[in-house]
Structure 1
Amino acid sequence: MRDRLEANQVFLYLAAILAGLAVGTHSPGRVGLLETLLWPLLALLLYVTFTQVPLVGLHRRLANARFLAAAVVGNFLVIPPIVWGLVQWLPVDPALRFGVLLVLLVPCTDWFLSFTHLGGGDTSAAIAFTPLSLLLQLALLPLYLWLFLGQTALAGVIQRELLEAFGGLILLPLMAAFLSERWAERAPGRRWLIERLGWLPVPLLALVLFAVAAGQVETVTGSLGLLGWLLPVFLGFLVAAALLAWLLARAFRLPVAQGRVLAFSFGSRNSFVVLPLALALPAGFEAAVVVVVLQSLVELFGMLVFLRLVPRWLFPDLPGG
């Protein structure tokens, strides 16, 4: 039954997104509650995802410099110039370009772990990369914005938001999952809890997608004029991310499961973390909020495609594997 649930997860996610768009359109009064629940849902989603990874003794299995090097090179050396090139397609509007750079320059550190798990990737390697990714984002995002747009005033705000995301969305769920696994190991009859939690990543991710879609309908419908400019940029980014993952996995001679991690890491961006940054921007930068919201919705559909494309075509299981 669980195998069937995971095999049909893409259809469940698509239904959740469509239902969220419908609720956001016809019952806007309920959107506030859904937006309030989004962060706890994300934290719970990561907790149950982490419980499906053997965290006890994890450090002994993560001495993989080649994977970490590939993830760092792709996310922080190759993708920024790609994003800068895509931005040249846009009109010369500082708010519009700032929003695209803000949302595409840094990789996701939350739900990409769940997509990696559901897509058959090496979740242990993905977890190992997460703290390194956050540290590099803290250091490099202000630098990128300065290089590409000359923006330095938001550096402190950006760093504070990233630190809060790391503590609330990564560190606490990770510690809770580790303690849960230690508790389960102390008695044979406790393992059932971890096994039962394995049913939850798919429905919880569906709830997250439902909440995001419902909460952003008004922003999207009020900004359809920008979609013609932004959609090619976001779709082009997803295509470039998939190709880059394939190339770097071959260049660094990574196993299939770690190649899948690269694909989900390169393709997903930190939209949930940078959205509060966009909302805090001064007057005249309202378009940046629209950009982040539209990117997150395009990414939702893109990750559904990745769940099919990555394990079946981009990084299929080896014969006899």
Structure 2
Amino acid sequence: MLITLLFAVAILTGSLLGVTGIELPTDPLILVLVGAIFFTLRLGSLRSLRRVPRTILVALATNFLLIPLIALPLTLALPSEALRLGVLIYCLAPCTDWFLGFTRLAGGDTVAGAALIPLQMLIQLLMYPMWMMLFAGESVAWMPETAGATLVQWFLVPAGLGIIAQVLMPRRLRRFEIDAVDAAVPFVIAAVIVAIFAGNVQTILADPGSFIWVLLAVFLFFVVTFALCEGLARVFRLDHAAHVLVTMTTSARNAPLMLALTTIALPDQPLVHAAIILGMLVEFPHLTALTHLMRRRAPRHALAA
């Protein structure tokens, strides 16, 4: 309940700051969050990765095979081609950073989640030119150096620093420091939420009519994906940790990266950019609600872990 309240306050604070024109840096906070999550990973548990290929495969298949089938019909009702394209781009790319923080808070499998990050980032970078060709009729050259630089910046550097810091920590202090950083993770996520809302809430105020349509489409997207994950959890008999991971990775989207790529690919399409931003602003209340729900469902030992 306290975490839900913390995130609700963060959303309100960021919105108020955004109304007054105050913006905060987002990228450094996301990098700190990824580094903190990897710092708190129990490295001994990495051996368990060999037991979770099914969870990873379910998550990848859902994100890259099933979600496009959900997103495409949901966007057809939007009133303009630009909004349709923006929401579609937003829905197609799974998150590669903050979903792991929400997964941890809800007692999910962060070890498998950590393995998902580079896989999902690489797949969406490879598929982005194809999405643009299919849905926008735009030819976008995929450059290996761009994908490599993105992977290094957003995954390898913060993850590597987090793991190295844990390994170099004196053994007698390691457990204390890990617990301290773990306790700080909700506040780092809250800071990310404040920064994102502060930097983007003006988009809502600039075009409230478009926001209503995007809000409806993204809300329906989240409702359908949540129902899908509930069904998958039953079909594949996922335990709580795997269930949370699949739910969070399908509910969090990679809006910052997609916005950056789309701004380069379609520089003269502000409505497309706005739709991606608006989707992200709907996402955090949804993730907050999911975290609250999953924590209520979690066995006590899952949250203690």
TM exceeds 0.5? yes
Aligned to 2:142: 156
One-letter amino acid matched to 1:84: L
Correspondence 1:98-247 to 2 at 5 A = 98-151=85-138, 153-156=139-142, 163-184=148-169, 186-247=170-231
One-letter amino acid matched to 1:140: M
Aligned to 1:11: 5
Give the gaps of 5 or more residues in structure 1.
Answer: 1-6
Residue 161 (structure 1) shift: 5.9
Give the gaps of 5 or more residues in structure 2.
Answer: none
Classify 1:39/1:309 alpha carbon distance in 2 versus 1 (closer, same or farther; 3 Å).
Answer: same
1:68 to 43, 53, 56: 56
Aligned to 2:32: 44
Contact 2:126 2:142 in 1 (8 A): no
Relative to the length of structure 1, the TM-score reads 0.87
Contact 2:214 2:275 in 1 (8 A): yes
2:261 to 277, 285, 310: 277
Contact 2:166 2:174 in 1 (8 A): no
User: Over residues 189-216 of structure 1, what are the superposed CA-to-partner deviations in whole Å (9 max), with x where a residue is unaligned?
Assistant: 4442222212211111111111111111
One-letter amino acid matched to 1:177: G
Aligned to 1:3: none
Residue 317 (structure 1) shift: 3.6
Distance 1:317 1:18 in 2: 27
Distance 1:165 1:274 in 2: 12
Q: Bigger shift: 276-285 or 212-221?
A: 276-285
Relative to the length of structure 2, the TM-score reads 0.91
1:23 and 2:17 matched: yes
User: Over residues 208-264 of structure 1, what are the superposed CA-to-partner deviations in whole Å (9 max), with x where a residue is unaligned?
Assistant: 111111111222200111023211110011111111111222222221110110100
Distance 2:268 2:26 in 1: 27
2:293 to 303, 309, 314: 309
Residue 140 (structure 1) shift: 2.3
Distance 1:110 1:52 in 2: 15
Matched positions, count: 301
Contact 1:109 1:133 in 2 (8 A): yes
User: Over residues 44-103 of structure 1, what are the superposed CA-to-partner deviations in whole Å (9 max), with x where a residue is unaligned?
Assistant: 111112222113561x2101221111011100110001111111111252x222211211
